[in-house]
């Protein structure tokens, strides 16, 4: 999915859905590390796309979003 083809609201919707998936996966006691890693990686991709969309439009990236992206990148196991 390319960020340039989506509206900012669509990108934010992707972030919200990815956050929800991470929360749901974490709540399941039998979740494998791979499932959680995949969910976190999808969240990183969604956050990066939304951040890029904001920057492309010349809008500021909120500090909380920037911090969340930094944290999720540090937890992301994918290369």
pTM, two decimal places: 0.84
Whether the pLDDT of residue 37 is over 60: the answer is yes
Per-domain boundaries in the chain: 7-75
Q: Please say whether the beta carbons of 15 and 50 come within 8 A.
A: yes
Query: Where is pLDDT greater, at 7 or 2?
Result: 7
The chain-wide mean pLDDT, for the chain, equals 89
């Amino acid at each position: 999915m390319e960020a340039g083809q989506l509206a900012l609201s669509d990108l934010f919707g992707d972030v919200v859905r990815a956050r929800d998936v991470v929360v749901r996966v974490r709540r399941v006691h039998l979740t494998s590390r791979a499932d959680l890693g995949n969910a976190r990686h999808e969240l990183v991709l969604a956050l990066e796309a939304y951040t890029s969309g904001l920057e492309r439009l010349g809008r500021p990236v909120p500090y909380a979003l920037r911090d969340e992206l930094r944290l999720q990148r540090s937890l992301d196991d994918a290369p």
